[in-house]
Amino acid sequence: MSANYTRRRIAALLGVTPAMLALGSQNVGAQSNTGSDVLDVAVIGAGAAGLTAGFLLNEAGLSFRVFEAANIHGGRAKKDTSFADFPLDLGGEWVHTSADVLNTLSQTNSASQTAREWRPVSCQVWDGETLYQADRYALEWRGEQRFIDTTWFDFFDRYMAQGIRDRIRLNAQVAEVDYSRHLVSISFAGSATGRARHVIVTVPVNVLKRGDIAFTPDLPRKKTACA
């Protein structure tokens, strides 16, 4: 991996870290000394953030599982193939990053070959009363990679999920995370439970706001202040 793009920097550039809640010790070693029934890290949510976390954990040689409540991974990155003869992005398609990050993540330099940088010449802006067109965004816009004949779902499916499919658990709805003890206990809808040394929570903020996942103890203020 390029020395200029550490795993942390790549995750930050993809915009996944703000959505993550890390529970447990912040010092995770590269090797596990726990039993086979205890994971180094449990990742809750298999969207862009969760899949990227799994990808990086796999690169680090840690034992982990990615738990997803839905029956498919990808989160808000979805695609539709029924409307046209090419796939359409549905949901989360505005992922701002650069071609070199795509290539570093793919590790094959192939991702950027299927994408082109998109920068709008002008944008329509709503100021609360009037909709007007502004050209200033042409210079200020960060730009993004738009795929030609594929989608962001395909990117995360091919490059992030490709090597960790056997560690993604679908239809696994997490009901409670108890991090009051040395090992974190994860309870699923039903009676199943699991244990991990650390947990990364990547579910959407509205899931946390609804209280779909209970936390013991409650999440500290510093983790909920921005929700």
DSSP string, 42-94: EEE--SHHHHHHHHHHHHTT--EEEE-SSSSS-TTEEEE-SSSSS-EEEE---
34 part of a folded domain: yes
Count of the separate structural domains present in the chain = 1
Look at residue 130 and tell me if it is in a domain. Answer: no
Mean pLDDT of the chain: 77
**Rounded distance between C-alpha atoms, residue 12 and residue 32, angstroms:** 26
Q: Is residue 123 part of a domain?
A: no
Which burial class, exposed, middle or buried, applies to 204 when counting CB atoms under 10 A from its CB (0-12, 13-18, 19+)?
A: middle
What's the Rg (C-alpha) of the chain? 19
Query: Kind of pairing, strands 214-216 and 174-178?
Result: parallel
**107 in a domain, yes or no?**
yes
Query: In the prediction, which pLDDT does 38 show?
Result: 94
Instruction: Record the pTM.
Output: 0.72
For residue 126, being part of any structural domain is answered with no
Give the bridge partners for 144, in sequence order: 118
Q: Do the domain assignments include residue 45?
A: yes
Please enumerate in sequence order all residues whose Cβ is within 8 A of that of 212, keeping only pairs 6 or more positions apart, or say none.
203
Confirm whether 139 is domain-assigned: no
Query: Where does residue 77 rank: exposed (0-12), middle (13-18), buried (19+ CB within 10 A)?
Result: buried
In a domain, 179, yes or no: yes
- Per-residue model confidence as pLDDT tens digits over 6-23: 555 545 544 444 345 666
pLDDT, tens only, 146-190: 777 778 888 888 888 988 999 999 999 999 999 999 999 999 998
Q: Give the CATH number of the domain where residue 87 resides.
A: 3.50.50.60
Decide if 8 contacts 101 (C-beta within 8 A): no
- CA dist., res. 122 & res. 213, Å (int): 42
Q: Domain limits at 25?
A: 1-115+145-227
On the question of a cis peptide bond just before residue 217, with omega within 30 degrees of 0, the verdict is yes
